[in-house]
Amino acid sequence: MMTRLMTATAVLALATPALADTAERRIALSNNYAGNSWRQAMLESWEKVTGQAVADGVVAEAPAFTTAENQATEQAAQIQNMILEGYDAIVVNAASPTALNGAVKEACDAGIVVVSFDGIVTEPCAYRIAVDFQEMGRKQVEYLSGRLPEGGNLLEIRGLAGVFVDDEISAGIHAGVEQFPQFSIAGSVHGDWAQDVAQRAVAGILPSLPDDIVGVVTQGGDGYGAAQAFAAAGREMPIIVMGNRQDELLWWKEQRDASGYETMSVSIAPGVSTLAFWVAQQVLDGQTVPQDLIVPFLEIQQDGLDAALEATPEGGVANVEYSLEDAQAVIAGASN
């Protein structure tokens, strides 16, 4: 699980007086999609942390807005409305790394702070908070190479087509296969980061795949659906890399207890939205913040399964939420 980001010494070192008062400032969240448990947990984390920040008088308000469809044009219009409504900062989980750049530049030109996370934007004026998604994909193949040194055929389950995160994780998976050429990708489907979509997609491709699928590489929210599809087809269960969802962790525990099944689980913590909030608040506060920040992904190994499952609510996702002090540590680490 993720370790705490701050030491007591670092907290004291960063405990500098505020350079500006943000109590009257307004920060909005622009989100492009809410159709899976990760996005729901992300929004819940945002509401929890920003709600407390509003109650404490840190900012005046911090509402979240989600588009009806995962369309960049709709989200661009949403951001333009936020500009007209006079928000001081906009936090964005973007439908596209490039298609929102025009709207983001309009916001910056209007003096609005823009912080993108998870689905980041490439407009230079925006701040970006990301994990190394390519490494997250590559590490899955590296893990399988340790478990299956002889290699074999893999099934790749991708996320939402056309989204930055999907492209980056997939690129990392394929880089992993190049690094460990004993593996090959026998087939690829889009699971939209949702177990029901993934189950249908895997069930549809299984008849065309070779019998000896030894592993399934994933992006999150798809492992349990893949397992259900393999079970329904009567296929031998491969090693499925999980994505930190509670249904995945529960299935993993049940299989481990019944037969010693082993795997790993990896994803970005939904609470990264709260880090983006605090980064926006720090910029509004007059602090110097690097344009690009990297946070670690949240990884669960076999020996941490029970603790992770116990801490994850039913229907939810293993999570970490960020405090102001955590954000200051991330900023300080990037600055150094």
Do residue 147 and residue 104 come from a single domain? no
Same-domain pairing of 331 and 217: no
Please indicate, yes or no, if residue 1 is contained in any of the structural domains: no
Is the residue at 88 inside a domain?
yes
What's the rounded Cα separation, in Å, for the pair 268 and 266? 7
Separation between Cα atoms, residue 302 and residue 309, nearest integer Å:
11
251 and 166 co-located in one domain = yes
Q: How far apart are CA 215 and CA 136, in angstroms?
A: 16
- Cα separation, 32 vs 166, whole angstroms: 14
CA of 96: how far to CAs of 60, 72, 164, 165, in Å? 29, 6, 6, 9
User: Do 21 and 126 belong to one domain?
Assistant: yes
> Are 251 and 290 members of one domain?
no
The verdict on residue 307 lying in a domain is: no
Paired residues of 64 in beta bridges: 29
The residue type of 147 is: R
- Model pLDDT, residue 231: 98
Residues 19 and 139 grouped into a single domain: no
Range of the domain at 211: 133-267
* Same domain flag for 31 and 92: yes
Q: Which residues of 4-24 are buried (b: 16+ CB within 10 A; e: fewer)?
A: ebbeeeeeeebeeeeeeebee
Q: Is 309 part of any domain?
A: no
Is 305 a member of any domain?
no
Residue 311 placed within a domain: no
Question: Which CATH number fits the domain that encloses residue 231?
Answer: 3.40.50.2300
Q: Residue 9: its pLDDT value, please? A: 35
DSSP 248-266: HHHHHHHHHHHH-----EE
Whether 202 and 77 map to the same domain: the answer is: no
**Helix, coil or strand: residue 2:** coil
Beta strands in 10-122, from DSSP E residues, in sequence order: 27-31, 64-66, 89-93, 113-117
Residue 213 is assigned to a structural domain of this protein = yes
Domain count, the chain: 2
How does pLDDT run along the chain (336 residues), one tens digit per residue? 443 333 333 333 344 444 469 999 999 999 998 988 899 999 999 999 999 999 999 999 999 999 998 899 999 999 999 999 999 999 999 999 999 999 999 999 999 999 999 999 999 999 999 889 999 999 999 999 999 999 999 999 999 888 888 999 999 999 999 999 999 999 999 999 999 999 999 999 999 999 999 999 999 889 999 999 999 999 999 999 999 999 999 999 999 999 999 999 999 999 999 999 999 999 999 999 999 999 989 999 999 999 999 999 999 999 999 999 999 999 999 988
| Residue burial 147-170, b: 16+ Cβ < 10 Å; e: rest | ebeebbbbbbbbbbeebbbbbbbb
| 306, part of any domain | no
258 and 278 housed in the same domain: no
- 27 and 99 in a single domain? The answer is yes
In the DSSP assignment, the letter for residue 61 is B
